[in-house]
Amino acid sequence: GEQVEQRPPHLSVREGDSAVITCTYTDPNSYYFFWYKQEPGASLQLLMKVFSSTEINEGQGFTVLLNKKDKRLSLNLTAAHPGDSAAYFCAVNDTGGADRLTFGKGTQLIIQP
């Protein structure tokens, strides 16, 4: 089945700097890709859902890049602020729907003032 590797497990950046989190996956048939944010003690909040046909997706304060050739998904936070401190998880789905997600192990992001 699908396997997802997420790097780095921990990341500390200064406020205003950028932060990059990367996931690699194994199943070339994977179709949907997701980034979730989890604040301490809270549930997972969907940041962005990416379709395999779109390589660049932009959100508020971040960009998601999908490289299908290398089977790599990345989350780039620009100008990080304290509210970005959280755990981030990528998830991959190969069924064409939102079910049966395979998650990466997560990245604990700390934004230093």
Partner 1 sequence: EAAVTQSPRSKVAVTGGKVTLSCHQTNNHDYMYWYRQDTGHGLRLIHYSYVADSTEKGDIPDGYKASRPSQENFSLILELASLSQTAVYFCASSDQNTEVFFGKGTRLTVV
46 scored as a contact of partner 1 (CB under 8 A): yes
What is the smallest separation between the CB atom of 30 and partner 1, expressed in angstroms?
15
1 binds partner 1 (CB under 8 A): yes
Binding part of the chain for partner 1, among 14-22, 40-48, 65-73, 76-84 by CB under 8 A, reads 40-48
CB of 106 to partner 1, least distance (A): 5
| C-alpha to C-alpha distance for 25 and 2, rounded to whole angstroms | 7
Query: Cβ distance 39 to 53 under 8 Å?
Result: no
Compute how many other C-beta atoms are within 10 angstroms of the C-beta atom of residue 85. 18
